Amino acid sequence: MNKTKLKSKYLILMMLPFFILVIAFELLPALFIVINAFLDQASKLTLDNFKVALTDPFYLQGMKNSLLISISSSFVGIVISIISVQAIQSLTAKNAERVIMLSNMTANFAGVPLAFAFMILLGNNGVFTILMDRLGLGVFDTFNLYSGAGLTLVYVYFQVPLGILLMYPAFDGIKPQWKEAASNLGASTLAFWRHIGIPVLMPSIVATFSIMFANAMGAYATAYALTTSNYNLMSVRIGALISGDMFLNPNLASAVAMVLGALMFICNYTSERMTKRRGVNEIK
């Protein structure tokens, strides 16, 4: 009994640094944001910060742009991820492991280095932009890397590896025997995926999409490095309100951050409910 108590105390002591880190870098900052969102510059209680965040056209535009880029990049990313994982499944175990390892490395290539890489390749004076212009193809005449379409393309780059990592284990649930049975019954490959494969994968697809959506909504470094403050996004607005010299307003930044968190919570909650409901229907 004494040994059990001693072991429990030892485990608690070992976990203490982790608890301190969680409290210091997760709970306290979150509490600070919530409190400051309801305070004005004079530290008086107010709802004006939320009024501005939810009614001001400038911040509504940032919300709209963030939602559009997040939804579009997540949709394109999940489609490419599903196709890619299906292709990876046809590889040998050794080659599949290499591709997954490469995806893991690529998923962590984001922020300023990623923005700089795209500037070199597809910027106004980028390698491919100049090359296509010299060849007279004009492929990038109407493309602007520093616009919403450009940001969506950059976001898709780091969304796809994340989607592959999340969807790869889900494809193990598709048994080869199912494909053989469907083929023996005369079902085409398209019919198999339409009636069996996609329905089985749907909970994982919805969950992965919600994670990718949250990943895009919270992205800051890549967007800021690529467009500075020229393209209106919620994450960029929060950064400007915290570190800006002319428009410093951490209280309003806290309110915008809470709105951003609420949007991501709604998305994740909806996806979780859809996943559970689908699981219940499948059991029935």
Cβ(66)–Cβ(235) below 8 Å? yes
CA distance 268 to 77: 17
pLDDT at 279: 52
pLDDT at 271: 78
Task: Look up the pTM and report it.
Answer: 0.86
Q: How many residues does the chain have?
A: 284
Residue 45 phi, psi (nearest 5):
-65, 135
Residue 209's SS3 state is helix
Return the domain boundaries, the chain: 1-37, 57-283
Which H/E stretch holds residue 251?
helix 250-283
Q: 99: burial class by Cβ within 10 Å (0-12, 13-18, 19+)? A: middle
The candidate with the shortest Cα–Cα distance to 138, out of 129, 150, 149, is 129
pLDDT at 280: 44
Mean pLDDT in each 10-residue stretch from start to end of the chain (284 residues)?
71 87 91 92 90 93 94 95 90 89 86 90 88 83 87 93 91 83 83 86 89 91 87 91 79 93 86 65 46
pLDDT at 284: 46
Cβ(148)–Cβ(69) below 8 Å? yes
The candidate with the shortest Cα–Cα distance to 160, out of 234, 242, 93, 88, is 88
- Choosing among 2.40.50.140, 1.10.1740.10, 3.50.50.60, 1.10.3720.10, the CATH entry for 57-283 is 1.10.3720.10
